[in-house]
A and B are shown apart, each in its own frame.
Chain A
């Protein structure tokens, strides 16, 4: 596992709300190296989540191009996007209910996540990711009985279940206490370092950016350059 680069070229996104155009993203460009860990930070309404969904291929930009590795996802068909998410791209969103099947155990969710991957990939990722991430104790507990932090960690683990090249995490530490936040950030760091996955975390929390080492600040739909955060 070596990760893939994530690159945006002049990405813009304009919404139409009741006949008026609202600019969510304007000429956003950056290039995140393969295997890096980067936090995209910014205040509420700055366009972080819009950027995340565009990177995940869940919506298309109004302008610009997005590359995951050498693949331009802005031109991919829906099927191509599905295959990309199944093969290379893991997405973990803020609301745990949207990351996990609430009535399944951690193990169920890992299996469910692997269901979309190609068979060869499923075999190669057949190791127990929960054990590898130190979450073996939660493997057989029903998700809706887990705490918020546990859920988020299991969600990250399921994101890695298909051995992805890129992990996109949207506000992975929101609504968590400090201890849980630390453990999540530690997990993201390990994912990046130990597994070589390119980690992109959208967060309003500067601590996350600091721990991940690199950050991009977004404001009013525009971004600055990727820089080291200390």
Chain B
């Protein structure tokens, strides 16, 4: 009986019931969403951490080296024997496959050319991860595939179909040429199989590994050390949060129970999984804290709205409760009757709230989190939903208490019983405001504010807007009171009535404070999200340096700058770049970023807080002398020499670099006193960049060489030579060549040409360099990228693998630069190529691609000879950053705060609508004394606009203030960044959200004012008299 009657009541008051149900459902949903979202977000961050970690960090690596003597057995049998004690593929969750590998570091030579160091590798399934550009994969012993660039490097003499002799004199036939599909693919597990390095004076060349069949290792003979290892790459998709403890246990068990033989471990186990998981756990903790704080704030907000709505609904049921008392129902019965309807709604709200929470979490998971992130309803979510239900019951109980305790007669005379704004309420507000301020102070003292990545700082905006809302709404009637005299003097009756209503007994003051808090949080959320989006973009742009970064493998003979220019002749969307770790020089301890300065401004992104790309380009490319590109087969110079000692004259040598990056040193004849023409053949029909002229020391001259040489003209051609515009009379165009050994050159320019007073001792030699590359390379540096103070007067240089130095000067010191951020040095790529002969081999190459690139950009780069390995986009990084714990907390705050605002506006509307009856008596009375209905409507509207408008002003103002004050201390990223972060919210979204809130509030005010007017009938007055 009771339930059907309650259901009938709910239907009879269906709109109020729906409002309460929605409020309760949203509150329950908000509470349940917290744990569900936290779980999904943690799953997502875990997946990200595991996916982004290098495979060699998250994977397991068993390795043992075997010294084969030819007597101790076949490596394949040994390998097979000890593998039995290793975990099987799939036996440990997360490690579904194993990759077996045999590796022998050997020499390989195609006789009679000199050999090179390489690795002979069999890696299970390797051919599937290599592009076989020519030939086939090896199918049996005696066959090998080698990298295409090893073959392209003419010094080695390797060729398809040729034979390589290995260190143990075994031979293999080159049956195919490969390029790695993606050297950074997890399959390769970070092994350095593709690392070609040119020879130095003391070490031979190193070339990419050669791949053979497993059987080739079985056929090995002689003495050698073979490394045998098994890699277990992690499959991040298999690991969920719940699996982590077991995973740790399993790995710990593997570490402590290595397969043994004769008391010694058969293999070493290497993994950095614990570090990866620790990082994930840190993010999970950030997610948990952030989600808890956000959920708590929004659940509290929802609870207060629910309380108010239920209180108003209870008021609306006052006559029924009075009837129950009139019929003699006992106190408990009256309570049951009074609470039956809200309890039914709260019970229904549990599953609806659960569905809302799951749907919201699904929405977040699909739009923000890692694809495939599961949404799980946990017991914590159930507990939170039940907690919200309990909170709702308490709210309903508290709200109904006043009505239930009211006498029948008081209930019938309810027109005069508006909830008074008592001293108690004032004290409550003061206490709350003080608590909010104290909370802010505690956050400051505890270090949560300004303490780095403590998401507890997320409490700060809520506390701030709460304090402002409470104080502001309390002050509002006092402020309006100051305007009372003005309304007396005006003809506007509506303003007169409205201001007095506000001062005397403002309806919905408590709700105005609530609304202000909700709008404040939403405004803060909007501002914070705009700031976060901007900062994520800035960070990703700074970290990448461009919209896309295409990694590629350097191919000898293909000059990256020229190839990129071939793909993008207009220089609008592609730029060659490289990162490089100097081999020496002791000046740089960070990474050198080398960029094609002529394209940096068009293609690159600046790192916020650092110089613009145009600024960097102008700093690092100071030379105004254009490069001299020669398309010729011979070159000649007219040199007037004097002051030389007999039998101690240098040989003239032209220095050029082919457009494919190959150094060309063309020897001419020995220098003779007087003016002579010196000619040399140069292999530059396809084009070479002229570098300078060396006064080379002939092998038979061991004594000191001195003299003066004036280069009067420079010519090049094929059949005939033509003068080159070599700017021989301009001092800025020429400088002393980098001295090799003990040599000195003093260069100046005269009207006759470039004059060099040269001298060299003990095998040294010098010359003149065409100064399209500065003597000291200008660099934009960050203090963290230098090993010495930026103000150091000491010589700063970087040195390549050939021990060739390139001096540089820190032309501009800044805090951050693109790509290498605060631990880098930016230089002009072509200068480094010109100065450092091994730079091309040592650098890690990239093509930076701008947002305006054509859709087939990568294909065009490939067509131009770029051996593309992988492509990464700044947008991907932005998405990754958006999935980090702090970003997820901010997003949850935004979504919840907007929902909370809509809830608060709706609750306010319902509450004011419920109080329409009370207001309608006054309006009816005013109507009977001649105030027109239009004026009464305006009066009601003005009153609501004053109250709700105050809430909007306080909320939006408080939200903006909270954003400005607290965003600098609220973490946006899981890890710090040197990229400058900006904390000023973008104006347009704030403006739009404010307009949206204002429209909703205006609609609410207009609607409720209409309700007051509709109820303001003369009959009300008689009702009030009863």
Contact = CB atoms under 8 A, between A and B. Distances in A.
Interface of A: 49, 53, 56, 58-59, 79, 82-87, 89, 91, 93-95, 97-104, 108, 111-113, 115-117, 144, 162
Given A58-B407, A83-B328, A115-B327, 16 more contacts: A59-B407, A82-B325, A82-B328, A82-B330, A82-B331, A85-B328, A86-B328, A89-B328, A98-B322, A103-B13, A108-B8, A111-B1, A111-B5, A112-B323, A116-B324, A162-B327
Contacts of B4: 108
Given A58-B408, A94-B1026, A101-B323, A87 B328 contact: yes
Nearest to B326: A91
Interface centre among B11, B320, B333 (most CB of A within 10 A): B320
A84 B327 CA distance: 10
Interface in B305-343: 319-320, 322-331, 333
B323 A116 contact: no
Contact of B319 (A49, A97, A144): A97
A30 to B, nearest CB: 22
Contacts, number: 77
A25 to B, nearest CB: 15
A136 B919 CA distance: 40
B79 interface: no
A66 to B, nearest CB: 16
A99 B323 contact: yes
A100 B320 CA distance: 8
B12 interface: yes
B412 interface: yes
Interface string B520-564: 000000000000000000000000000000000000000000000
Given A59-B409, A79-B331, A116-B328, A98 B319 contact: yes
A214 B302 CA distance: 59
7 contacts: A58-B409, A86-B329, A98-B326, A101-B9, A101-B320, A108-B8, A111-B5
A124 B1023 CA distance: 37
Nearest to B336: A115
A94 B322 CA distance: 14
A58 B407 CA distance: 8
Main secondary structure of the interface of B (DSSP, over half): helix
Contacts of A85: 326-328
Interface centre among A49, A87, A97 (most CB of B within 10 A): A97
B8 A115 contact: no
B328 A101 contact: no
Of all A-B residue pairs in the complex, the 7 with the closest CB atoms, nearest first, are: A86-B328, A103-B12, A85-B328, A116-B329, A116-B328, A103-B8, A116-B327
A98 B323 contact: yes
A116 B11 CA distance: 24
Given A101-B5, A115-B333, A116-B333, A53 B409 contact: yes
Nearest to A158: B327
B7 to A, nearest CB: 10
Contacts of A95: 1023, 1026
A99 B13 CA distance: 18
A91 B1023 CA distance: 19
Contacts of B11: 103
Nearest to B4: A108
A91 B328 CA distance: 10
A79 B407 CA distance: 12
Nearest to A90: B327
Nearest to A117: B328
B415 to A, nearest CB: 13
Contacts of A53: 409
Interface centre among B13, B328, B331, B407 (most CB of A within 10 A): B328
B8 A86 contact: no
Nearest to B320: A101
Contact of B327 (A86, A104, A108): A86
A58 B9 CA distance: 26
Given A100-B323, A108-B8, A115 B329 contact: yes
A69 to B, nearest CB: 16
Contacts of A102: 12
A117 B330 CA distance: 9
Interface string B396-432: 0000000000011100100000000000000000000
Interface in B968-1026: 1023, 1026
Given A84-B328, A86-B328, A116-B329, A104 B323 contact: no
Contacts of A117: 328
B191 to A, nearest CB: 77
Contacts of A116: 324, 327-330, 333
Nearest to A89: B328
B984 to A, nearest CB: 55
A59 B408 CA distance: 9
A84 B324 CA distance: 14
Nearest to B325: A82
A104 B8 contact: yes
B351 to A, nearest CB: 25
Contacts of B1023: 95
Nearest to B407: A58
Contacts of B1026: 49, 94-95
Given A59-B409, A98-B319, A116-B333, A104 B5 contact: yes
Given A85-B326, A87-B328, A116-B333, A98 B412 contact: yes
A85 B327 CA distance: 6
A102 B13 CA distance: 11
A100 B323 CA distance: 7
Contact of B9 (A59, A97, A103): A103
A135 B412 CA distance: 28
Contacts of B327: 85-86, 112-113, 115-116, 162
A53 B1023 CA distance: 17
Interface centre among A59, A82, A85, A144 (most CB of B within 10 A): A82
Contacts of A59: 407, 409
Contacts of B331: 79, 82
A222 B430 CA distance: 52
Nearest to A114: B327
Contacts of A99: 323
A88 to B, nearest CB: 9
A82 B329 contact: yes
A101 B328 CA distance: 15
A222 B407 CA distance: 26
Contacts of A111: 1, 5
Contacts of A97: 319
B51 to A, nearest CB: 58
Interface string B1-36: 100110011011100000000000000000000000
B20 to A, nearest CB: 16
Interface in B753-779: none
A79 B333 CA distance: 12
Nearest to B7: A103
A19 to B, nearest CB: 16
A148 B407 CA distance: 26
A144 B9 CA distance: 12
Nearest to A144: B12
Contacts of A82: 325, 328-331
B335 to A, nearest CB: 13
Nearest to B328: A86
Nearest to A105: B8
A49 B1 CA distance: 33
A167 to B, nearest CB: 13
Nearest to A159: B327
Contacts of B326: 56, 58, 85, 91, 93, 98
Contacts of A108: 4-5, 8
Contacts of B320: 101
Contacts of A162: 327-328
Contacts of A103: 8-9, 11-13
A108 B320 CA distance: 13
A79 B331 CA distance: 8
A136 B325 CA distance: 26
A113 B324 CA distance: 8
